[in-house]
Amino acid sequence: MQDNKEEPAPMPLIFGRVLDGKGGGRPIDWDEARCWQPAAKGEVLWVHCDRAHDEVFDWLHETLGVPESTVETLTLEETRPRAFREDEWLITILRGINFNPGAEPEDMISMQMLADHCRVITLRRRPLHSPREVLADIDRRHGPRSAGDLVVELAETMVAKMGSSIVDMNAVIDDLEEHEDDYEPDDIQDQITDIRRNCLSLKRHMSPQREALRDIGRAAVPWLNKQNRRDLRDTIDRLSRYLEDIDVSKESALVLQDDLNARANAQSNRTNYVLSLVAAIFLPLGFVTGLLGINVGGMPGVNSAHAFWDTVLLCLGIFGVQIAIFKWLKWF
| Distance (Å, whole) CA 225 – CA 46 | 19
196 vs 27, higher pLDDT? 27
Output the average pLDDT for the chain: 82
Distance (Å) of CA 293 to CA 277, 297, 303, 304, 314: 24, 11, 14, 15, 14
**Burial profile 288-315: b = 16 or more Cβ within 10 angstroms, e = fewer:** eeeebeeeeeeeeeeeeeeeeeeeeeeb
Q: What is the pLDDT of residue 296?
A: 59
5-28: average pLDDT: 82
303-325 pLDDT, tens digit each: 666 667 777 787 788 778 877 87
pTM of the predicted protein model: 0.72
240-244: average pLDDT: 88
Task: Classify residue 63 by its DSSP letter.
Answer: I
321-331: average pLDDT: 77
With 0-12 / 13-18 / 19 or more C-beta atoms within 10 angstroms meaning exposed / middle / buried, residue 51 is buried
Alpha helix segments (H runs only) across 144-225: 147-178, 185-218
Instruction: Inform me whether the pLDDT recorded for 8 exceeds 60.
Output: no
Instruction: Inform me whether the pLDDT recorded for 260 exceeds 90.
Output: no
13-262 topology per CATH: Beta Polymerase; domain 2 (3.30.460)
Confidence tier at 20 by pLDDT (50, 70, 90): very high
- Using DSSP bridges, classify how beta strands 89-97 and 82-86 pair: parallel, antiparallel or unpaired: antiparallel
Q: What is the pLDDT of residue 3?
A: 38
Q: What is the pLDDT of residue 305?
A: 65
